[in-house]
Amino acid sequence: MKSITIRPIVEGKKEGQAIVSLLPISFYGDVDPETGKILDKSNPLYGKSIANKIFMFPESKGSTVGSYIIYGLQVNGVAPLGLIVNTAEAIVITGAILADIPLVDKPESDIFSEIKTGDIVQINTIKKEIVIKKRMGID
């Protein structure tokens, strides 16, 4: 088990399988609000769903409509359990607050070399950390 210090933005304690995008995410256009699936064909996660997983990506980009999409994921029951980003900006912060999805940023170490898709990860904003519980992911 390894823990990494983060900055909590939206509070919560959630544990689940990680799904990791190495590319920035535009929630508007890249994520289907009906299914939670990645729609961006240039992303290796294309076709995979972020529903009920810990979704990790470097940063958000694109239209501010992305905030409504994050909220829509929650309404449609396909929201991620939690969000881990390098730097959170207005689109993802707004969406996560409204949808009440735990959100953390500013990890103290390079999470993208530490955490792979499939790993079991816990977000704990009270302790200001994320914990890698099980390494299942394949490089």
Q: Which residues bind another protein (CB under 8 A)?
A: 9-10, 28, 33, 63-65, 67-69, 71-72, 74-76, 88, 90-91, 93-94, 97-98
Given the complex with another protein, which of 17 and 74 has the nearer CB atom?
Answer: 74
DSSP codes of every residue in 10-47 = E--EEEEEEEE-SS-B-HHHHB-TTT-BB--TTSTTTT
Q: State in angstroms the smallest separation of the CB of 64 from another protein.
A: 4
Per the annotation, the verdict on 49 as an active-site residue is: no
Other CB atoms within 10 A of residue 16 CB: 17
> How far is Cα of residue 25 from the mean position of the Cα atoms in its chain?
10
Q: Which tokens is 23 given?
A: 């590319």
| Least distance in angstroms from the C-beta of 122 to another protein | 22
Cβ atoms 121, 1 nearer than 8 A: no
Which of 63, 67, 109, 113 is the catalytic position?
63
User: Could you tell me if 69 and 79 are in contact, meaning their C-beta atoms sit under 8 angstroms apart?
Assistant: no
Based on CB atoms, which residue is closest to another protein, 60 or 117?
Answer: 60
Please, which residue, 2 or 5, has the CB nearer to another protein? 5
Kindly list the catalytic residues: 63
